[in-house]
Amino acid sequence: MNKLIRFLQNYLIIGLPLVVTYITLTNIGLGKFMHDVLTHYKFIWSLMGFGMIFWFVLLILFLISLVLIPSAREKTLKRLANLQERDEREQYITGKASRTAYISTLSLMILFLFFSVFTLSIYKNPPEKSANGRYTLSMGVHYTMLSKSDVHSRSEGTALFDTTDIFPSTSTVILILLIWQLLAFNLAARREQRG
d(CA 115, CA 195): 36
Q: Which stretch binds another protein (CB under 8 A): 9-17, 47-55, 89-97, 143-151?
A: 89-97
Counting contacts by CB under 8 A, is residue 127 touching another protein? no
Residue (78 or 148) nearer to another protein, CB:
78
Size of the site for another protein (CB under 8 A): 8
2: helix, strand or coil: helix
Q: Does 78 bind another protein (CB under 8 A)?
A: no
Contacts of 122 (CB under 8 A, 6+ apart): 135, 136, 137, 138, 159, 160, 161, 162
Q: Buried b / exposed e across 10-34, counting CB within 10 Å, b at 16+?
A: eebeebeeebeebeebbeeeebeeb
Question: Residue 92 interacts with another protein (CB under 8 A)?
Answer: yes
Under the binding rule (CB under 8 A), the answer on residue 190 touching another protein is no
Q: Is residue 89 part of the contact set for another protein (CB under 8 A)? A: yes
Give yes or no for residue 107 binding another protein (CB under 8 A): no
Q: Is 193 in the site for another protein (CB under 8 A)?
A: yes
* Distance, CA of 23 to chain centre: 20
* Residue 82 C-beta: closest distance to another protein, Å: 15
82 binds another protein (CB under 8 A): no
- What is the Cβ-side half-sphere exposure of residue 48, based on CA atoms within 13 angstroms? 19
Beta carbon of residue 170, minimum distance to another protein (angstroms, whole number)? 40
Minimum CB separation from another protein for residue 32, in Å?
Answer: 55
Give 91 or 144: the residue with its C-beta nearer to another protein.
91
Give the integer Cα–Cα distance in Å for 140 and 142: 6
Rounded to whole angstroms, the Cα distance separating 106 from 115 reads: 14
Binding site for another protein (CB under 8 A): 86-90, 92, 193, 195
